[in-house]
Amino acid sequence: MEEEEFIAPSMPPVMKVAALTMTGDLLLAFGIIFMLLGIASFVTDLLGIKGFGEFLVGLGLCVIAIIILAVSRRQMKKAVPPSPPQPPPAEGMDKKDESASYR
């Protein structure tokens, strides 16, 4: 028997790479969530104050998110090219044609 490829053979190579990358990103996100839950639980047990670890981890994530958003905003302004200059209007377009007026 021939072994079948796990991903459909008719998929373009770019789609195969994209699917594998997205799968890796999803697993990484779940791993980070479980790590953060573990850190939060450890800090809560260490300090003995219920919910304090979750608060500290959430606060830290908010601070990191604000820093990332501020940096990305600056990078976005640099990355977006300015709009191209508009050509000046044609000379014949400036003057109104009296014969074309409906009045």
Q: What is the mean pLDDT of residues 59-85?
A: 80
What pLDDT score does 6 carry? 61
What pLDDT score does 86 carry? 79
Q: What residues contact 15, with CB distance under 8 A and at least 6 apart? A: none
What pLDDT score does 98 carry? 58
**Do 78 and 64 contact (CB within 8 A), yes or no?**
no
Report the predicted TM-score, pTM, of the whole model to 2 decimal places: 0.49
DSSP 3-state of 89: coil
Statement: residue 99 has pLDDT above 80: no
Going from the C-alpha of 97 to that of each of 37, 89, 92, the distances in angstroms are 74, 16, 9
**Do 43 and 57 contact (CB within 8 A), yes or no?**
yes
Q: What is the pLDDT of residues 4-40, one digit of tens each?
A: 556 556 877 788 888 888 888 889 888 888 888 888 8
For all residues of the chain together, what is the average pLDDT?
77
Q: What is the mean pLDDT of residues 65-94?
A: 75
What pLDDT score does 78 carry? 74
Calculate what percentage of the chain has a pLDDT beyond 70.
75
